[in-house]
Amino acid sequence: MDGGQQDGRDAAARLGEEEVQRSSEVFINDLDAIRVLELEKRGLASDDPRRPELAARIEVMTMDLFARSEYQTRLVAVQSGVPTPPARALHDVLADWRDAERRLVAARHTVRDTAGESNGFRDEYQRHPHVAGSDT
C-alpha cells in the first residue's frame, strides 16, 4: 500500500471520529434539552395549557434520539471495519432515504397511538372495581 492511500484512510478515520464526537455532542445536548423540558412540564399545574405542548415536544425529541442513536451505531460500525455495501446510484439512495423518512414519521404516529392505547387500557384496568378496591 502506498503512503497516499494510507493518508486517505487516516483522514477518513479522523473525519469519522469527528462525526461520532459531533453526533454524540448533539445527542447529549438533546438529552439535556429533554431533561429541561421534562422538569418544566413537571413543575406546571395539571391544568396549565402548556403541558400538552411540552409533552408533545418531549415525545418528538425522544423519538429523534432513537434515530440519532441508530446513526451513531452505524458510524461506530464503519469505524470498526464492518463491511459497507457497495455504492448505489444516487437517485436510488435519495428515493430510499425519502421513503425511510416517511416510514419514520408513520412509525412515530404508530408508537404514539399504540402508547396511548396501552395507557388507556392500563387506566381502565386500574379503575376496574376488582383492582381499584383491592389492597394489592
- What pLDDT was estimated at residue 28? 96
Q: What is the DSSP annotation of 17-62?
A: HHHHHHHHHHHHHHHHHHHHHHHHHHHS-TT-THHHHHHHHHHHHH
pLDDT(8) > 70: no
Domain map (residue ranges) of the chain: 1-84, 87-136
The residue ranking higher by pLDDT, 109 or 5, is 109
82 SS3 class? coil
pLDDT-derived band at 134, boundaries 50, 70, 90 = low
What integer pLDDT is reported at residue 66 of this predicted model? 86
Which of 100, 80, 83, 104 lies closest to 92 in space, CA to CA? 100
In the chain, what percentage of residues exceed pLDDT 70? 86
Segment 35-92, tens digit of pLDDT: 999 999 999 999 999 999 999 999 889 988 988 888 888 888 888 887 777 888 999 9
* Rounded CA separation 72/24 (Å): 8
